[in-house]
């Protein structure tokens, strides 16, 4: 099964869409355009709505740390393996929940680094 990259960011919708275009992650495996979802579209979604939205989107713009966690959970519920790259303390829950956590180098907060390391450590 071929895996797809998705972008979840606090950036503006147009900025996020352009980044996705430049990375080549704005289309599905058949070359059809994927949605760019604004955070306001995520309000009040139920579990099925999250799964449907996450499956049909390439980009999530203006999302909060809570949305990032919900996106991780929705992807995992759909059977996806999720890697999360973050740097802020507010993003620690999503970083910890992801299957693969990557802290952002020197500028990353200690909490983000700890959550990324927790993902790398074997479970007891």
The number of folded domains in the chain is 2
Q: What is the pLDDT along the chain (124 residues), one digit of tens a residue?
A: 456 788 888 889 999 999 998 988 888 888 888 899 999 999 889 988 888 898 888 899 999 989 999 999 998 888 888 888 876 678 888 888 888 877 665 555 666 666 666 655 555 4
In this structure, the answer to whether residues 16 and 75 fall within a common structural domain is: yes
* Distances 43 to 40, 67, 69, 91, 123 between C-alpha atoms, Å: 6, 9, 14, 19, 34
Q: Which domain holds residue 92?
A: 82-124
In this structure, the answer to whether residues 75 and 95 fall within a common structural domain is: no
pLDDT score at 51: 83
In this structure, the answer to whether residues 50 and 107 fall within a common structural domain is: no
In this structure, the answer to whether residues 12 and 64 fall within a common structural domain is: yes
CATH code (residue 65): 3.40.50.1000
Q: What is the pTM for the complete model shown?
A: 0.76
């Amino acid at each position: 099964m071929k895996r797809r990259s998705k972008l979840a960011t606090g950036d503006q919708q147009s900025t996020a869409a352009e980044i996705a275009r430049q990375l080549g992650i704005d289309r599905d495996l058949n070359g059809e355009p994927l949605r760019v979802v604004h955070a306001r579209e995520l309000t009040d979604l139920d579990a099925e709505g999250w799964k449907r939205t996450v499956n049909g989107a390439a980009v999530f713009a203006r999302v909060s740390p809570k949305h990032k966690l919900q996106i991780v959970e929705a992807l995992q519920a759909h059977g996806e393996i999720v890697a999360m790259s973050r740097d802020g303390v507010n993003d620690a829950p999503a970083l910890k929940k992801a299957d693969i956590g990557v802290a952002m180098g020197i500028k990353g907060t200690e909490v983000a680094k700890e959550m990324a390391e927790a993902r790398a450590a074997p479970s007891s």
